[in-house]
């Protein structure tokens, strides 16, 4: 079963690993002043190289070493992750410089987290899946608690860790049930044996608890209700650039792994996990939105909104189908479209929060009052991101919404469609609350403040991304439909 090792396919991962090591050495030997720009510089260079290495292999379709898939689905997530982490680094240059001395470790951890994401999204074996997710989790705990002197950061890390450890254990238990049932950890082989009934006699029912327990682990990563309790605290307490990472890349990884494991290993159990996800989707978007409505901290509001969005992303998986002829709107392409749109948008919104924290000390709703007069660029950027989150065209969020609503309509899941409709409106309600603070409320007595250069660049890139995904939806539709088609075997 072991293929020959095609090192070229692993190039993105190798580049990230080497970059992480280089960053640690730079931190050891470079002077403080040099390190300030060299560390992020090296990290970004490594990510760009990894991006190129992944992009060049677009269209490949093979499994390396029997555990890592080099297919368009994996590359798609790698590209999104690489771009988003570059944005995270740009946003963290000043933010982290002012808050911690351990910059080398911070960037190295970010790169290792990205590496873990790369491994997780391409894993085709339960062991590798676990390896990828667990590495990502452990690094995320550290990143969340990175501000040692900040109580909230510490508390967030502990909460995240406790929830995470339990969720991992439960997931692993599910995996072990699957292994016990089928005698293999290879996803494709599991599917074959489940299909053929080549499993432990009289114990076929074990597949259901296995599905549910495995889903707990994925749901934890993707912050689905009721496995979301860690998310608001972790998002709020973590350094904001880390929150950017957690709420986009880390969450996307949860979905990638969930999609791959369910679609590759358990297509025959489709009805069951789809029903499970149907319930989770409705629960997640409703609970997330209702709680977000009551928040007074913008950061925490975005945390809950990001939970609600996970519910929307899930709609794509719930309504996944394999339409003939590789037509779009197969559901999975909605997940992919949402992930890229959401990466730019949500990372952007959290970046603005970071900038406002930098400028005013905190990110309560009140700190956003009259932002248009105090930091016009930030206010305009935030407006664009919030409108995109609300799904207003021609922004990225509209493309995302179109692509997850479509399969639901195709499948005629009326209840889900109506719940999603109501949720879309509720969500717009609290986004507009922030817009109202920024634009309608006038506080002439409050001072203006400047935005750091790296942050400015990051925001511009994300604004371009948000408009780009919306207006050139055709490119992203092409990529996501292609990747999804590969995964669905079209």
Exactly one of 56, 421, 443, 450 binds another protein (CB under 8 A); that residue is: 421
Closest approach, Cβ 461 to another protein, in A, equals 20
Least distance to another protein, CB of residue 306, Å: 20
351 binds another protein (CB under 8 A): no
Q: At what angle do helices 332-360 and 251-260 cross, to 10 degrees?
A: 170
Of these, 15, 90, 335, 481, which contacts another protein (CB under 8 A)? Answer: 481
From 92-100, 228-236, 304-312, 327-335, give the range in contact with another protein by CB under 8 A.
327-335
Phi, psi of 269 (to 5 degrees): -100, 15
Take residue 8 and report the two structure tokens written for it.
């070229």
Nearest Cα residue to 83 out of 403, 462, 346, 336:
462
The reply on whether position 404 binds another protein by CB under 8 A is no
Does the footprint of another protein cover residue 209 (CB under 8 A)? no
Q: Rule CB under 8 A: say whether 321 interacts with another protein.
A: no
Comparing CB distances to another protein, the nearer of 42 and 481 is 481
Among the listed residues 18, 36, 65, 392, the single contact to another protein using CB under 8 A: 392
Q: Which single residue is written with the structure tokens 């991992």?
A: 168
Distance CA 486, CA 473 (A): 20
Name the one range near another protein by CB under 8 A: 179-187, 306-314, 388-396, 457-465.
388-396
173-181, 220-228, 409-417, 445-453 -> range binding another protein (CB under 8 A): 409-417
- What DSSP string describes 369-413? TTHHHH-HHHHHHHHHHHHHHTT-TTSHHHHHHHHHHHHHHHTT-
- Decide if 421 contacts 315 (C-beta within 8 A): no
Shortest gap between Cβ of 159 and another protein (angstroms)?
34
* Span interacting with another protein, options 20-28, 177-185, 241-249, 469-477, rule CB under 8 A: 469-477
294: contact with another protein by CB under 8 A: no
Radius of gyration of the chain (CA): 21
Q: Does 393 bind another protein (CB under 8 A)?
A: yes
Q: Considering only residues 280, 372, 396, 451, which one is a binding residue for another protein as defined by CB under 8 A?
A: 372
Q: Give the Cα separation of 125 and 470 in Å (integer).
A: 35
Does 405 bind another protein (CB under 8 A)? Our answer is yes
Q: Quick one: how far is CA 452 from the chain centroid? A: 25
Q: Which helix (H) or strand (E) segment is 68 a member of?
A: strand 68-70
Residue 443 carries which DSSP code?
Answer: -
Q: In terms of DSSP H, where are the helices of 57-206?
A: 72-97, 103-122, 126-144, 151-182, 187-196
Would you tell me which residues interact with another protein (CB under 8 A)?
Answer: 327-329, 372, 387, 390-394, 398, 401-402, 405-406, 409-410, 417, 421, 424-425, 428-429, 432, 436, 439-440, 473-474, 477-478, 481
């Amino acid at each position: 079963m072991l293929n020959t090792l095609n090192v070229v396919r692993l190039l993105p991962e190798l580049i990230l690993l080497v970059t992480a090591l280089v960053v640690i050495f730079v931190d050891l030997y470079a002077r403080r002043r040099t390190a300030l720009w060299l560390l992020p510089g090296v990290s970004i260079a490594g990510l760009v190289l990894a991006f190129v290495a992944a992009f060049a292999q677009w269209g490949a379709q093979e499994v390396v070493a029997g555990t890592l898939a080099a297919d368009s689905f994996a590359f798609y997530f790698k590209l999104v992750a690489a771009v988003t982490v570059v944005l995270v680094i740009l946003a963290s240059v000043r933010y982290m410089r002012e808050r911690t001395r351990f910059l080398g470790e911070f960037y190295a951890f970010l790169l290792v987290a990205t590496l873990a994401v790369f491994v997780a999204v391409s894993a085709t074996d339960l062991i590798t899946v676990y390896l990828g997710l667990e590495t990502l989790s452990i690094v995320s705990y550290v990143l969340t608690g990175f501000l040692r002197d900040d109580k909230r950061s510490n508390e967030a890390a502990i909460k995240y860790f406790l929830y995470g450890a339990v969720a991992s254990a439960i997931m692993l238990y599910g995996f072990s049930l699957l292994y016990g049932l089928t005698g293999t950890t290879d996803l494709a082989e599991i599917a074959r044996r489940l299909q053929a009934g080549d499993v432990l006699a009289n114990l076929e029912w074990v597949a259901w608890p296995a599905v549910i327990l495995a889903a707990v682990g994925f749901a934890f990563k993707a912050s689905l209700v009721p496995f979301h309790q860690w998310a608001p605290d972790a998002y709020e307490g973590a350094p904001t650039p880390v929150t950017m990472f957690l709420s986009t890349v880390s969450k996307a990884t949860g979905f990638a792994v969930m999609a791959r494991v369910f679609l590759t290993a358990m297509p025959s159990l489709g009805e069951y996990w789809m029903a499970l996800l149907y319930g989770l989707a409705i629960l997640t978007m409703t609970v997330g939105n209702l709680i977000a409505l009551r928040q007074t901290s913008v950061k925490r509001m975005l945390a809950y909104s990001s939970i609600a969005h996970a519910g929307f992303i899930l709609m794509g998986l719930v309504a996944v189908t394999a339409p003939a002829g590789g037509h779009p709107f197969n559901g999975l392409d909605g997940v992919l479209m949402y992930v890229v749109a959401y990466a730019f948008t949500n990372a952007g919104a959290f970046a603005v929060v970071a900038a406002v924290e930098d400028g005013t000390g905190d990110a309560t709703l009140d700190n956003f009052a009259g932002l248009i007069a105090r930091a016009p660029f930030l206010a305009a950027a935030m407006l664009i991101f919030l409108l995109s989150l609300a799904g207003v065209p021609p922004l990225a969020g509209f493309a995302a919404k179109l692509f997850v609503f479509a399969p639901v309509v195709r499948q005629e899941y009326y209840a889900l469609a109506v719940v999603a409709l109501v949720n879309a409106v509720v969500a717009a309600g609290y986004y507009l609350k922030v817009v109202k603070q920024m634009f309608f409320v006038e506080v002439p007595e409050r001072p203006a403040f400047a935005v750091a250069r790296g942050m400015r660049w990051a925001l511009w890139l994300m604004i371009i991304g948000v408009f780009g995904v919306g207006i050139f939806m055709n490119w992203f539709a092409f990529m996501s439909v292609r990747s999804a088609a590969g995964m669905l075997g079209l």
